[in-house]
Amino acid sequence: MNKKEIVKTQNITIDYSSLTVVINSTKEEIKISLNEANLLFLLYSNPNRIYTKDEIYTQCWEDGSVANSVVTQTISLLRKKFLTHNISIIDTIKNKGYKSGDRLLVKPIKRFYLLFSSVLILVSLFLIFPIFKQVAPNSITQNLNKVSDNIYVIHI
């Protein structure tokens, strides 16, 4: 595999010689393994190309003694490392393979805000409910007197 020393994208800079990826916005460094670096350099050398799992395996793992499931494991580990920085590092193209991602993810909604909004909705419903509650008219005391088997007379 033809390796470059540094690949710079909009959100990250991959440094092959030091096995680090720098988050451009924060200048924070993330350590990566040699296999992770090989995989990133392959994907980012042709950012629009989709690579199959087998292509990645043959080009990034020179040791043929490992199973090609190592590709999906490595991709999973890389995604976890960059998820904490809200960066999608690798995109999965369904039924085709993988390509470079390099895009910021929308920050997930914090649990506190989700809980707060749920409680607010429930409180609002309980406050509004009595407005729509139907008010029963004043009760009239009624007495039923049985005249015959199926006939009753009302006395008010």
pLDDT of residue 116: 76
| 85 domain-assigned | yes
pLDDT tens digit string along 50-67? 999 999 998 888 776 677
**Residue 156: other Cβ atoms inside 10 A:** 6
Q: Are residues 88 and 129 located together in one domain of the fold?
A: no
| 1 domain-assigned | no
Below-50 pLDDT ranges, the chain: 1-2
The domain of 40 spans 6-104
| 137 domain-assigned | yes
pLDDT tens digit string along 137-155? 555 556 777 888 878 777 6
pLDDT of residue 106: 57
Residues 6+ apart with CB under 8 A from 91: 98, 99, 100, 101
How many domains are there within the chain? 2
pTM, to two decimals: 0.63
Q: Are residues 38 and 60 located together in one domain of the fold?
A: yes
Q: Are residues 23 and 92 located together in one domain of the fold?
A: yes
End of a domain among 71, 88, 104?
104
